[in-house]
Amino acid sequence: MSSGLIVGMTGASGAVLGVRLLELLAEVDREVHLVVTEGGARVLAHETGRDVASLAPLVARVHLNDDLFAPIASGSFPVQAMVVVPCSMKSLAAIASGHADSLLLRAADVCLKERRRLVLCTREAPLGLIHIENMRRATLAGAIIMPPVVTMYTNPARIEDVVDQIVGKILDLIGIDHQVMRRWT
Q: Which domain holds residue 105?
A: 5-173
Q: Is 125 helix (H, G, I), strand (E, B) or coil?
A: coil
pLDDT of residue 182: 87
**185: in domain:** no
155: domain CATH number is: 3.40.50.1950
Q: What is the count of structural domains for the chain? A: 1
**181: in domain:** no
* Model pLDDT for residues 147-171, shown as the tens digit of each residue: 999 999 999 999 999 999 999 999 9
**Single pTM value for the model:** 0.96
Could you tell me if 33 and 60 are in contact, meaning their C-beta atoms sit under 8 angstroms apart?
yes
- The DSSP code sequence of 63-104 is E-TT-TTSGGGSTTS--SEEEEEEE-HHHHHHHHHT---SHH
* Model pLDDT for residues 78-109, shown as the tens digit of each residue: 999 999 999 999 999 999 999 999 999 999 99
Helix (H) or strand (E) holding 105: helix 103-113
pLDDT tier at 123, thresholds 50, 70, 90: very high
pLDDT of residue 1: 41
**179: in domain:** no
**182: in domain:** no
Who wins on pLDDT, 27 or 3?
Answer: 27
**178: in domain:** no
* Model pLDDT for residues 6-57, shown as the tens digit of each residue: 999 999 999 999 999 999 999 998 999 999 999 999 999 999 999 999 999 9
Strand-pairing partners, residue 83, are: 7, 119
